[in-house]
Amino acid sequence: MMNSYRELETIYKATPTHMVGDGFRVINFIPGNNELAKRLNPFVLLDYNPSFYFPPTDSPFGVGPHPHRGFETVTIAYKGAIAHHDSVGNHGIIEAGDVQWMTAGAGILHKEYHAPHFAKQGGLLQMVQLWVNLPRLYKSAPPAYQALTQQQMGTYNFPNQQGLLKIIAGDYYGVHGPANTFSPINLFDMRLVSHGEAILELPGDHNVAILVLEGEITINQKQSAHDSQLLVFELSPGKIKINSEGKNAVLLVLSAEPLLEPIAHYGPFVMNTRDELQQAFNDFYQGKFGYLE
Q: What is the pLDDT of residue 1?
A: 38
84 is in an annotated binding site: no
Task: Report the predicted TM-score, pTM, of the whole model to 2 decimal places.
Answer: 0.97
Q: Is residue 122 part of a domain?
A: yes
Report which residue type is found at 194.
S
CA angle 78, 79, 85 (to 5 degrees): 85
Judged by DSSP in three states, 280 sits in: helix
CA distance 111 to 293: 9
Q: Is residue 119 part of a domain?
A: yes
Q: What is the pLDDT of residue 33?
A: 56
Q: What is the pLDDT of residue 34?
A: 73
Q: Is residue 287 part of a domain?
A: no
CA distance 55 to 179: 33
DSSP code for 17 = P
91 is in an annotated binding site: no
CATH of the domain at 153: 2.60.120.10
pLDDT in tens, 170-218: 999 999 999 999 999 999 999 999 999 999 999 999 999 999 999 999 9
Judged by DSSP in three states, 118 sits in: helix
Q: Is residue 275 part of a domain?
A: no
Q: Is residue 281 part of a domain?
A: no
Which segments in the chain show pLDDT lower than 70?
A: 1-3, 32-33
Q: Is residue 292 part of a domain?
A: no
CA-atom Rg of the chain in angstroms = 19
Range of the domain at 60: 8-256
Q: Which residues contact 22 (CB under 8 A, 6 or more apart)?
A: 61, 62
112 is in an annotated binding site: yes
Q: Is residue 267 part of a domain?
A: no
Report which residue type is found at 10.
T
Based on the structure, what is the number of domains in the chain?
A: 1
Residue 1, burial from CB neighbour count under 10 angstroms (0-12, 13-18, 19+): exposed
66 is in an annotated binding site: yes
Cα dihedral: 120, 121, 122, 125 (round 10): -100
Judged by DSSP in three states, 123 sits in: strand
Q: What is the pLDDT of residue 166?
A: 99
Q: How far is CA 224 from CA 13, 30, 134, 139, 230, in A?
A: 12, 21, 33, 39, 12
Q: Is residue 204 part of a domain?
A: yes
